[in-house]
Amino acid sequence: MASAFFAVLFYLATLAFVVGLLYRINVYARTPAPLKIPTTPAPTTRGGVVLRMAREVVLFESLFKANLWIWSMGWLFHASLALVLLRHLRYFTEPVWGWVALIQPFGLYAGFTMLLGLCGLWVRRLFVERIRYISTPSDHLMLVLLIAIAVSGLLMQFAVHTDVIAVKSFFLGLMRFDIQPLPADVLLAVHLLLVLLLLAIFPFSKLLHAPGVFFSPSRNQADDPREKRHLSGWAKQLESESDK
């Protein structure tokens, strides 16, 4: 019964996540950028832009320039989250891919560093006057959600074990539309429900910063306005109307 309930929720949340995200990405991609507005100094070629974006996404270059506290905690959180997510691939693949097996030990402890990063960010949000001022309830709740996901996951890993073999067969089954029994553990239920919530709100929340950064004109445009004429659809229209 609980298994079916979770299965349906997983299908719905995944659907919301995928459709919502694709919709957003589509909107970003179709909205014109009429003027050249890279924050300069900016790369003058497409290749340079790819490098700039890579530094931004992998190293958080701009944030590093801005504030070492946010940078270190934010980077620690994101890098740990990436490891943790990759580690979780083992629950969706059979046999487990070689490199996923390889990162398993790092992925396990990344749960702790992820928690550390999140707490560091929350401390800043709670105790630095400026950051508290700009925080909405949802900013705090988002951190609480992620902290709760991390804590419930770590507890299952290191304190109250769950039957991971059964969990894995549930998810493998889910991907074949063949619903398998899920262990009836409270921690597992909490962990999964929170992850479901995160998936579902992703396309409607500030988590859109993830796709958003790739579409940010101040970061993704090449600095070549004198060399190439940049003209978007609606701006072109103005030209044909007046034609002078």
Partner 1 sequence: MSDITAPAYRVIPIIPALKPGAMEGKGPFVASGKINEAIGFPGQLVEDWHDRAIAKMGELLSKYRSLKVYMDACVHCGACSDKCHYFIGTQDPKNMPVARQDLMRSVYRRYFTLPGKLFPKLVGARDLTREVLDEWYNYFHQCSECRRCSVFCPYGIDTAEVTMAAREILDSIGYGQKYSNEIIGKVHKIGNNLGLPGPALGDTLEGLEEDVKDATGFDVRFPIDVKGAEVLLITPSADFFAEPHIDSLIGYAKVFHATGTSWTLSSMASEAGNFGMFIGNYEQLRKIALRIREAALELGVKRIVVGECGHAWRVAYSFWNTLTGVGDGADPNDKFAQMLQKQLDHRYKQPMHICEFTWDLIERNALSFDKEANDKHIITFHDSCNVARGSRMGDFAGGQFDIPRNIIKAVANNFVEMSPETIRERTFCCGGGGGVLTDDLMELRVKGALPRMEVLQQVVDEHGVNFMATICAICKAQFTKMMPIYGFDRRMVGGVHQLVSNAIKLGKE
- Using the rule CB under 8 A, give the single segment among 3-11, 159-167, 173-181, 234-242 that binds partner 1: 234-242
Q: How far is CA 131 from the centre of its chain?
A: 22
- Minimum Å distance from CB 85 to partner 1? 18
Cis omega (within 30 of 0) on the bond before 211?
no
* 133-141: Cβ within 8 A, 24+ apart: 138/205, 138/206, 139/206
Using the rule CB under 8 A, is 137 a contact of partner 1?
Answer: yes
Using the rule CB under 8 A, is 66 a contact of partner 1?
Answer: yes
How far is residue 43's CA from residue 22's CA, in Å, rounded to a whole number? 28
Q: Which helix (H) or strand (E) holds 49?
A: helix 46-54
- Using the rule CB under 8 A, give the single segment among 163-171, 177-185, 189-197, 202-210 that binds partner 1: 202-210
Amino acid letter at 3? Answer: S
Using the rule CB under 8 A, is 237 a contact of partner 1?
Answer: no
Where do contacts with partner 1 occur on this chain (CB under 8 A)? 24, 27-28, 31-37, 39-44, 48, 56, 60, 62-63, 65-67, 70, 74, 121, 124-125, 128-131, 133-139, 141, 201, 204-206, 208-209, 212-213, 215-219, 223, 225-231, 234-235, 238-239, 243-244
